[in-house]
Amino acid sequence: MTRPVVVFLDAHAPEVRAVIASECPASLELRLATSPDPGARITLARGATFFVGGISPIPASLMDAAPGLRLIQKWGIGVDKIDLAAARARRP
């Protein structure tokens, strides 16, 4: 069975990435952005099950890269960085 893939889309400092990685259960595959580059983020998002975003936009192109996407979690306040129309269109 394939492990669910959790992608943190914001490029956090190495110390923050280390804390996130240390708390991630082995039952999940964790991918952490190291660059805000849109192309790198799309590559990272491929096959993701869950997105965790914050300040970086989450456009339809990122969602399209993850056909099995089940959840978008926003770290912070508001959902203005998420393309809500694209997210709603993906509902089963």
Tokens representing 48?
Answer: 């993701």
User: Residue 1: is its pLDDT beyond 70?
Assistant: no
For the ranges 6-10, 17-21, 63-67, 74-78, which has the lowest average pLDDT? 74-78
Q: How far apart are CA 29 and CA 14, in angstroms?
A: 18
User: Of all helices (H) and strands (E), which one includes residue 87?
Assistant: helix 84-89
| Predicted TM-score (pTM) above 0.75 | yes
User: Residue 2: is its pLDDT beyond 90?
Assistant: no
Phi, psi dihedrals of residue 60, rounded to the nearest 5°: -55, -35
Q: How far apart are CA 53 and CA 66, in angstroms?
A: 14
Q: How far apart are CA 7 and CA 52, in angstroms?
A: 6
**pLDDT value at position 26?**
94
What would the pLDDT profile of 25-56 be if each residue is shown by its tens digit?
A: 999 999 999 999 999 999 999 999 999 999 99
The distance in angstroms from the start CA to the end CA of the chain is 22
